[in-house]
Chains A and B, each alone.
Chain A
């Protein structure tokens, strides 16, 4: 069935790298997205990757896609306290299917 899985929590120290993982189920997904939700706010698109790509880098963000394992990851380099938020991955199969979100806590 359609299910996007993420771990619920991740805690890192300021300055470290954060890696948030996601598995999806539908190999026909054309785009895969990462959204960020800060407390009390809506979701904001962070980055996306087209399904024929393996990697995408955008400043401190690196997205890796392993289509064989249906695994997506988001790496945030030099994590800052301002990166504390909930991160959602989503696959596009018609509508977007969202994971339950990973709450990233950054400790000073």
Chain B
């Protein structure tokens, strides 16, 4: 039982490049979330999903897109990376909305 996994762990992008971050969970959770963590800003919710095929915007969705084609996977895409998107990205999942969230180990992204 791996819990929540994220790939890749580290990535460096040039401004304007695109990439996709993958999150996978093996707990059969309906809810999945993408956060970014920046110094002094805590965790900010980017997008979330309440089930396969559904996504919704969080607090800071601009510049990101997401997809939930399979229940166990939640993808976060950056179409045209900007230096302001340099951050640590965390994926999480939960059985119920407002319930305990299980976090992945994070992806450290640097955009130069």
Contacts and interface: CB of A to CB of B under 8 A. Distances in A.
Q: Do the two chains belong together in a single complex?
A: yes
Interface of A: 8, 30-31, 33, 35, 40-45, 48, 88, 92-96, 98-101
Nearest to A44: B103
Q: Which 8 A-B pairs rank lowest in CB-CB distance, beginning with the nearest? A: A92-B98, A100-B42, A42-B103, A98-B43, A43-B103, A42-B105, A98-B42, A42-B106
B45 A88 contact: no
Contacts of A33: 100
Interface in B43-70: 43, 45, 48, 58
Contact of B98 (A8, A41, A44, A94): A94
B43 A45 contact: no
B42 A95 contact: no
Interface in B89-109: 90, 92, 97-106
Contacts of B58: 95
Interface of B: 4, 33, 40-43, 45, 48, 58, 90, 92, 97-106
A44 B40 CA distance: 19
Given A88-B42, A88-B43, A95 B100 contact: no
A41 B105 contact: yes
A31 B101 CA distance: 12
Nearest to A2: B59
A95 B98 contact: yes
A33 to B, nearest CB: 7
A11 to B, nearest CB: 18
A92 B99 CA distance: 7
A31 B106 contact: no
A42 B90 contact: yes
Contacts of B4: 42
A99 B101 contact: no
Contact of B99 (A31, A40, A43): A31
A30 B98 contact: yes
